[in-house]
Amino acid sequence: MSLDGLTSAQVARARPNVVPRRSSRSLAAIIRANVFTLFNLVIGVLWALILVFGAWQDSVFGLIMVANVLIGVVQELRAKRTLDRLAVVGESPVTVRRDGADRRVPPHQVVLGDLIVLGPGDALLVDGEMIVSAGLEVDESLLTGEADPVRKEPGDPVLSGSFAVAGTGLFRATAVGTDAYAARLAEEASRFHLAHSELRDGVARFIRYITWLVIPIGALLTYSQLSNSADFATAITGAVAGIVTMIPEGLVLTTSIAFAVGVVRLGRRRCLVQELPAIEGLARVDVLCLDKTGTLTAGGMTLDRVVPLREGRPVGDALAALTAADGHPNATARAISDRFPSARWRPLATVPFSSERKWSGADFGPHGVWLLGAPDVLLAPSAPERAQAAELAATGARVLALCRTNRLPDGNRPPASHRTDPITADAHSASHRTDPITADAHSASHRTDPITADAPPEDASTDPSVIGVEEGEPVALVVLKQRVRPDAHETLEYFERQGVSVKIISGDDPRSVSAIAAGLNVPGADRAVDARTLPDDEDALGEALDAATVFGRVSPQQKRLFVTALRKRGHTVAMTGDGVNDVLALKEADLGIAMGAGSPATKAVAQVVLLDNRFAALPHVVNEGRRVLANIERVSGLFLTKTFYAIVLSLMTGVAGMMFPFTPRHSTLVNAVTIGLPALFLALAPTLERARPGFVPRVLRFAVPAGVICAFAVLLAFRAAAGGTLEEQRTAAVLALFLTTWWVLVLVARPLDRWRVALVAAMAGLFALALASPFVREVFELRPGGPHDDLIAVGIALVACAGISIAVKVAGTLRT
């Protein structure tokens, strides 16, 4: 096959790589989800009954349903536009070869038959067949679960969903769009949906239970109203009032609005939320695992100095030639080539970096064989140069060893750490799987850094695969500076104040990580742990993780084990990363957060992408999650209190065979000023409350006693005014209903700062205005009786309010 790729004419005729966006659903799907719901069906039928048999004033609840649908659709469309716009910005371009030239194109412009260029860190977005391979190794663990990278040769198939970890290659796209392997596997999982979460499950559970209750209780209520009223229209109106009030239709709407507004707010801070439920995950995080490079430190680095170890060696020529031989230079290679730009040697053979080798090298013929890699891999433990490298690393610098040897070692042999494992001889055990990616060496071009991989155990001097001083000559140490992000210190302090434990994990030398952490005043930075000494057992590992903060020489497999062990101990774990070595841990974490400049693989698996690469954005991300979750819990208490008092009222009036104490227009008025309007404000209010487990039982402990007491207060006020007309009785009941539910609003809104006091006062003012306005009283059929009946209703309501306060306080659900 020609290596020039497709022509422009062929590209125009070929099938493009079009797949549904993971971050949002279509307009049709948004409309269907907001319109065609069970509750809308029930309310629509009841609305039709009122329009046929009742007064128009009693049908206002139907207009509220329409408004809810419109608000839900509009808010989600805003979120969709934000997500789609940010998703385009966050897409990593793909290098394709067309008309004999390499060019970068968006993923959706890749077409069937394209020649795609691969380098370390590149994600495979389509399926294909290898055409050219220069030591290319592909990690397919996200598809197969196998951690070992797979060497790819010409003719081998490659699958979307995997990513390159070493070498370079060229493959031809054989399946694109929804035909690609990963797209077929992820078709269901990738669709926009509220993923598994306590919040979503809790709301769904409420709705499921209420749905089953509405049917029999509604039937009982309808029968009782028909039996106790000679007027069919009055009976239907009473039955509809009870059934409509039982339905918490606004809860689903408010939850959707809170999520959507959260997405828009984060979008303004250049945070792409690829799955809306990730916002909930933000609120629950209590452990944040930070990948040092690219998170605490900036993506680039600079060459500080080169320390010669032997006199008269061509160090500059060797470094220039080694970095020039890398077709996909990373931050390390670029920093070196900036100092040594002119390569005069040409390689006869090269071995690209791989985490299995932890070094890269090239044979330059008469100039010799040169290797560049981690000092504790290329240098024997007893070598004095290795101790010198350790001293330099303790200052926070990144240190590389440049060695000259007589032969280019076999690039396929396993690393030392997998050949003389002191714990087990199994080279592929769970704790010693092949390291698919080097540890924290990421760059702006997202290539794997050939230096900072996990080093072999301290007894590696006995391992024949170590490139030690017996075989090679240490020529120089290369010292690179890492730039700490200016906002890192303030951001770490924020998490400490918020009670979020921070774990700094890195593949660098523990001494280097410790120095950087100490400069940021991280607690326990002086006690950095070498991850190679950690136990393999998850329970023991979890104890070690709880006891320490800073970890060095962490392999990608260990990063995933860290996350697993922390989750097993009951923690909600967020993981940040920007390189392919973070992919497995990001996928395992409750919440994966990738940097916008990270590798395509990391952005593909993360739920949140920080497009501006700003570590300081994380507090805003966490705050938004806490705001959404805490506020949804608040408004859930409001909506479910309404549901439970309606259930109790319907049961009691149905069993007692009495008229329902209010009509739909009454519930519309009271619900608007005590639930609907304040819920919109409360759902979007700022809050820093940390999410707590037990959302469902906590809401029920509040809503059930509050709803029951409200129901009894309404019935007592209704019966106390039995000497008046039905309209006067219902007005007394409405007065008691407003006062008790308004008090529920006061309790839910706590702590009562200035704006919350203004909110609850405004709602009381609106109701008082409704009572004072003759026109409003006429529309809502409010006909107060004598002062005696109204005072009794107020007295009953005050006693009920005290009872609600005591009940919910005993239940332990009040915020202060």
The CA distance from 509 to 530, in Å, is 8
Task: Determine phi and psi for 214, rounding to 5 degrees.
Answer: -60, -40
CA distance readout (Å), 502 to 284, 484, 546, 724 = 14, 17, 10, 66
The CA distance from 277 to 662, in Å, is 38
- Using alpha carbons, select from 675, 811, 810, 660 the residue that is nearest to residue 743: 675
Task: Determine phi and psi for 694, rounding to 5 degrees.
Answer: 90, 35
CA distance readout (Å), 583 to 436, 439, 571, 619 = 10, 11, 20, 22
Is residue 291 within 8 A of residue 441, CB to CB? The reply is no
List all residues 6 or more positions away from 605 whose beta carbon is below 8 Å from its beta carbon. Answer: 142, 583, 586, 587, 592, 594
Peptide bond into 149 cis (omega under 30): no
The CA distance from 132 to 118, in Å, is 10
C-alpha 764, offset from chain centre? 39
The CA distance from 129 to 136, in Å, is 13
Structure tokens at 670: 């009271």
**Known active-site residue 338:** no
Q: Give me the helix-helix angle, 232-246 and 198-227, nearest 10°.
A: 160
**SS3 label, residue 672:** helix
Identity of the amino acid at 187? E
The CA distance from 506 to 290, in Å, is 8
3-state helix, strand, coil in the chain (%, to 5): 50, 15, 35
**SS3 label, residue 809:** helix
**SS3 label, residue 465:** coil
The CA distance from 693 to 571, in Å, is 11
Structure tokens at 524: 């326990």
The CA distance from 9 to 108, in Å, is 17
The CA distance from 27 to 25, in Å, is 7
Task: Determine phi and psi for 352, rounding to 5 degrees.
Answer: -70, 160
The H or E element spanning position 290 is strand 287-291
Structure tokens at 620: 């805003």
Is residue 73 within 8 A of residue 94, CB to CB? The reply is no
Cβ-based neighbour number of residue 677 at 10 Å: 16
Task: Determine phi and psi for 370, rounding to 5 degrees.
Answer: -125, 140
Structure tokens at 111: 């077409």
The CA distance from 153 to 165, in Å, is 14
Catalytic residue of the set 122, 127, 139, 291 = 291
List all residues 6 or more positions away from 581 whose beta carbon is below 8 Å from its beta carbon. Answer: 355, 435, 436, 437, 438, 439, 440, 448, 507, 556, 559
Of the CA atoms within 13 Å of residue 154, those in its CB half-sphere come to 6
Cα torsion at 718, 724, 726, 730 (round to 10°)? -40
The CA distance from 188 to 195, in Å, is 11
Q: Tell me which residues are annotated as active site.
A: 291
